[in-house]
Amino acid sequence: MSELLVLTEENYEKEIAAPEPMVVDFYADWCMPCKAMAPVFDRVAGEYGGRVRFAKIDVDQSKQLAIKNKVLSIPTLLFFKGGEVADRVSGPIDAVQLKNRIDALL
């Protein structure tokens, strides 16, 4: 399984700049759609271990990162390639949709 990184304002820039593609889940513990998305995110992360990095950002703990990335609703997934946002989706998605977006990064 791929290790899920926890991004904070302290480690965000360093981790996003890594050469591997990365999927970042902006979420909150109180958000029911985020809770529904979590097992899908975790399962897909396990399938792409070593090829894609997966990270989570708690918007309540890292408000400035949510603002910086123009996250207006949660869950929001940002797909990074070469340190830049290549794709984004707001709202929960299923595993097939998530895999299709990841495959487009590779």
CA dihedral 28, 34, 79, 15 (to 10 degrees): 40
H-type helices in the chain, by residue range? 12-16, 32-47, 63-68, 95-105
Q: Is 34 a catalytic residue?
A: yes
Active-site pick, 7, 24, 31, 45: 31
Which residues face 85 on adjacent strands?
80
Q: Is 31 a catalytic residue?
A: yes
Active-site pick, 34, 55, 57, 78: 34
Active site residues: 31, 34
